[in-house]
Structure 1
Amino acid sequence: AYFLEPMVEVATTDKGRVAYGPVKPSDVKSLFDSGFLTGGHHKRWLGAPDKIPFFARQTRLTFARCGVINPLSLDHYKAHGGLKGLQ
């Protein structure tokens, strides 16, 4: 959704993934001040990315685990079903 870009997604421990956008360089300080790393409210707050109407009807395939796992970690790969077909 180009109209939301650049969009920042944050994985929080209690609120799940939270999106903010469109984010401008001038928003950075106020994002940190609002506690965006823990899902704090900010004027750019969009809520859960999968609840945003543009994304709600989409199924993420290629980037489903983008930002969720470390692509260089074999343990993360296995924990998310990698190598299952070989077992």
Structure 2
Amino acid sequence: SVGGAMDPIVHCGMTKQGTLFHYNLLDSTLVIRFLGKMMVLDLPGDLFRIGRVENSLYLHTKDSKLYKATFNDDTKFVGIEFVRNIAK
């Protein structure tokens, strides 16, 4: 489910160091549980698709932009950063 829908399913991934992280979509936010902390990040736009590659989540918005959130044990911080525009 994407956009304004609620995704009660909690998804899981792992950092390169082997630390688990959990995430789910709730309304227009990304809820993250990582290293004992819970973070709520605003999505950068209307979400078209979300995918996980190794220790990063990729967020593809309906306005054809790609963002990513990377999980790193060293920084203990997860933020959403712009990657690039997606060709139409």
- TM-score, normalised relative to structure 1: 0.28
Q: Which has the higher helix share?
A: 1
Q: Which has the higher strand share?
A: 2
From the CA coordinates, give the structure whose radius of gyration is larger. 1
